[in-house]
Amino acid sequence: MSPTVFREAGYRFFFFSREEERMHVHIVSADGEAKYWLKPEIELANNFHFSRRQLKEIETLIEEHYDELISAWQQHFGG
């Protein structure tokens, strides 16, 4: 199961169930995939085919939706 938290600018932001415990979000679009840590700070974990410009755009969207992402994580995984 991989619940979508939100979609914006052609990107899908989602979680994988039963994955590692450290808080993070996956991002996918037609151009590639990425994973960002959310705690202790926003940090790129993996990138597959996104340009630097796209990564900056994704990071900005994560910052704008940070509280929503944290809340969705806590609701989905508990605590």
Query: 79, 71, 78: which is closest to 13 by C-alpha?
Result: 71
Beta strands in the chain (DSSP E): 4-8, 11-14, 24-29, 32-37, 43-48
CA distances from 1 to 19, 40, 43, 49, 56 (A): 10, 25, 24, 24, 27
Q: What is the pLDDT of residues 3-50, one digit of tens each?
A: 899 999 999 999 987 778 899 999 999 999 999 999 999 999 999 999
Q: In this predicted model, what pLDDT tens digit does every residue of 37-66 receive, in sequence order?
A: 999 999 999 999 999 999 999 999 999 999
- In single-letter form, the type of residue at position 56 comes to K
Residue indicated by tokens 């994988």 = 16
HSE-up of residue 11 (Cα within 13 Å, Cβ side): 23
